[in-house]
């Protein structure tokens, strides 16, 4: 540790003595590391971070499909949902969902908001409980008892002024009275994009009046413990074949897909984000090559200094350690500057991202410079220190150090080696 601290102090002195070199090298590394940190923060927040529901990896969506019509996200009918509930053994819960508009009247200015109609078990399937009031009950799914709603936290704040007494009171939606029974937790979101769904009401299923041809439901489910996606897929295919035999008028060409909810949500973004991550990785390699060239050029200037240190007893390993420590110091300073650049880059990214509609990134508010991103940035710094520092350091310790002390010894051999090393880095 004493030697490391000594090497770090010596490296810091060398950087202070060469401010031009230090500034260019640090800025070059900051751009490479910052670009990687910024894109990784998006990958981490969108692709790697699980959804905010407990055991969210077991939440799936079930789609009908038709290869002949290129349909992969076909919705289901209410009778199908009820049949699937009765026949399956793979799911703890299955629940239907659809989007709709509500117009709030009667209190303040009329406001039109997005809402959802769901099966009564929807929030229990997600393992989400209202922060105020209660969840939907089995009684709320009975025809004539479905005039109840749960509000989002944002709507409760914005339209009702965070009035806790709103729970249990009637509000008017589309000229129809509904009783507010609960308020969802702050930050709850289903898809993580705008517009948010701010009013939730239950379905009231009456089997005798349901239309098997009315396909309007997105089906969500929670897998049982130790049940895999493939097992659930196989069972649902078996159930679908059974229902086709039971209902000959049923579309015989339909297929079925069981997919992870989070995977399906980010699937359109995954190729682009991974491509961006690969692209900024190339930017980092270019930055490393540039800094390595700077170090190679600087090493030729320092040959006499290194030779004097060798003549005073410093071994090649000690000299290599010193030079790699200087590279590490450069990389760490570059990482700090890169994290700052990534922070401002994310602010710019958020400002240019669509606020609603096509092109949104789900859960964009989860994209931030957090501990995982900072750890990634410093790991990248360690790797880059090896990449751009090792070749110049080896070049110096392999050179004829004592020859550098002789008159005119800066000639051909070291120059040719430095030129070859720089050429290899540039080509790479």
DSSP H helical ranges for 179-302: 229-246, 261-266, 270-301
pLDDT at 295: 79
Q: Give the per-residue SS3 of 30-89.
A: HHHHHHHHHHHHHHHHHHHCCCCCCCHHHEEEEEEEEHHHCEEEECEEHHHHHHHHHHCC
Return per-residue pLDDT of the chain as tens, 428 residues: 556 666 677 667 777 877 888 888 899 999 999 999 999 999 999 999 999 999 999 999 999 998 778 888 999 999 999 999 999 999 999 999 999 999 998 777 889 999 999 999 999 999 999 999 999 998 898 888 889 999 999 999 999 999 999 999 999 999 899 999 999 999 899 998 877 899 999 998 877 778 888 889 999 999 999 999 999 999 999 999 999 888 887 767 789 999 999 999 999 899 999 999 999 999 999 998 888 888 777 766 666 666 556 555 555 666 667 778 888 888 999 999 999 999 999 988 888 877 666 678 888 888 999 999 999 999 999 999 888 877 766 766 565 554 554 544 444 445 555 556 555 655 55
Give how far the C-alpha of residue 379 lies from the chain's centroid of Cα atoms, to the nearest Å: 19
pLDDT at 100: 93
Q: Where are the domains of the chain?
A: 2-51+268-427, 56-265
pLDDT at 154: 94
pTM of the model: 0.81
pLDDT at 53: 93
β-pair type (176-183, 148-151): parallel
């Amino acid at each position: 540790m004493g030697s490391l601290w000594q090497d770090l102090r010596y490296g810091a002195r060398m950087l202070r003595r060469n401010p031009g070199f230090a500034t260019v090298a640090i800025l070059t590394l900051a751009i490479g590391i910052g670009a990687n940190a910024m894109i990784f923060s998006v990958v981490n927040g969108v692709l790697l971070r699980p959804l905010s529901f407990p055991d969210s990896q077991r939440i799936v969506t079930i789609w009908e499909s038709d290869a002949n019509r290129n349909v992969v996200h076909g919705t289901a009918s209410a009778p199908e949902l009820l049949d699937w509930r009765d026949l399956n053994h793979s799911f703890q819960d299955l629940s239907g969902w659809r989007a709709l508009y509500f117009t709030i009247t009667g209190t303040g200015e009329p406001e039109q908001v997005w809402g959802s109609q769901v099966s009564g078990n929807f929030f229990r399937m997600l393992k989400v409980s209202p922060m105020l009031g209660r969840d939907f009950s089995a009684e709320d799914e009975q025809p004539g008892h479905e005039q109840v709603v749960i509000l989002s936290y944002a709507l409760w704040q914005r339209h009702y002024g965070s009035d806790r007494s709103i729970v249990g009171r009637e509000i008017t939606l589309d000229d129809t009275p509904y009783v507010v029974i609960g308020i969802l937790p702050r930050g709850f979101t289903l898809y993580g994009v705008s517009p948010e769904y701010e009013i939730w009401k239950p379905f009231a299923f009456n089997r005798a009046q349901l239309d098997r041809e009315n396909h309007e439901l997105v089906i969500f489910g929670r897998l049982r413990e130790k049940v895999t996606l493939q097992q659930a897929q196989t069972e649902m295919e078996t159930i679908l074949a059974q229902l086709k035999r039971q209902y000959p008028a049923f579309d015989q060409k339909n297929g079925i897909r069981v997919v992870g909810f989070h995977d399906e949500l980010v699937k359109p973004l995954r190729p682009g984000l991974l491509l961006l991550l690969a692209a900024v990785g190339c930017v980092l390699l270019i930055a490393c090559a540039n800094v390595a060239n700077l170090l190679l050029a600087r090493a030729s200037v320092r040959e006499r200094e290194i030779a004097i240190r060798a003549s005073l007893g410093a071994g090649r390993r000690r000299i290599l350690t010193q030079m790699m420590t200087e590279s590490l110091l450069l990389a760490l300073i570059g990482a700090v500057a890169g994290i700052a650049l990534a922070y401002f880059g994310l602010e710019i990214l958020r400002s240019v991202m669509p606020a609603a509609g096509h092109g949104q990134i789900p859960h964009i508010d989860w994209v931030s410079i957090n501990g995982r991103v900072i750890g990634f940035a410093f790991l990248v710094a360690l790797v880059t220190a090896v990449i751009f520092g090792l070749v110049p350091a080896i070049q110096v310790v392999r050179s004829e150090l004592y020859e550098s002390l002789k008159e005119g010894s800066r000639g051909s051999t070291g120059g040719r080696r430095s030129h070859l090393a720089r050429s290899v880095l540039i080509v790479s």
